[in-house]
Amino acid sequence: MSAETQIKETVTNNDVVLFMKGTKSMPQCGFSSRVAGVLNFMGVDYADINVLADENLRQGIKEYSDWPTIPQLYVKGEFVGGCDIITEMTLSGELDELFAKEGVSFDKEAADKIREANA
């Protein structure tokens, strides 16, 4: 199976997917750790895909999204962004709005705590 096919199947078959370096329980870079930390704290159920385990996947995800960096977050098959975008969306409340609009379960109280801590 090609990397593109594998990526397309993954983002289609899971509501929320994070392509990251490492795993949600053991991130291998600070940027991946930040995004996984936000999702974990907010109680979002998501698939974590470790791009370090497969070089074809690591390069393939960059080509698939036309985005040069990892991590990459997908919601309902759509590319949302990388670390900086997810951080901004979390702090502005846009990530809450996206999850609510797409029917993704999350802890609103936890999201509010993140914003309070960063105010």
The structure tokens listed for 80 are: 């949302």
Tell me the per-residue pLDDT of 54-90, one tens digit each, with 9 for 90 and over.
Answer: 999 999 999 999 999 999 999 999 999 999 999 999 9
- Structural domain count of the chain: 1
Omega into 27 within 30° of 0, i.e. cis?
no
Q: State which residues form the domain around 48.
A: 3-117
Residue showing tokens 């309070």: 116
Q: What is the dihedral of CA 88, 44, 34, 25, to 10 degrees?
A: -170
Mean pLDDT score, 22-47? 97
Confidence of residue 1 (pLDDT cuts 50, 70, 90): confident
Q: Which residues are annotated as a binding site for [2Fe-2S] cluster?
A: 29
Bridge partner list, 22: 27
Q: How far apart are CA 103 and CA 114, in angstroms?
A: 21
Q: Give residue 9's pLDDT.
A: 96
Tell me the per-residue pLDDT of 97-119, one tens digit each, with 9 for 90 and over.
Answer: 999 999 999 999 999 999 999 98
Mean pLDDT score, 40-57? 96
Query: What backbone torsions phi and psi does residue 28 show, to the nearest 5 degrees?
Result: -110, 10
Q: Give residue 62's pLDDT.
A: 95
> Considering only CA atoms, which of 94, 47, 92, 93 is closest in space to residue 71?
47
- Between β-strands 16-20 and 47-50, what pairing exists: parallel, antiparallel or unpaired? parallel
Q: Which residues are annotated as a binding site?
A: 29
Rg (CA), the chain: 14
Which amino acid is located at 47 in the chain? A
Q: Record the pTM.
A: 0.96
Q: Give residue 119's pLDDT.
A: 85
User: What's 30's domain CATH number?
Assistant: 3.40.30.10
Q: Give residue 94's pLDDT.
A: 98
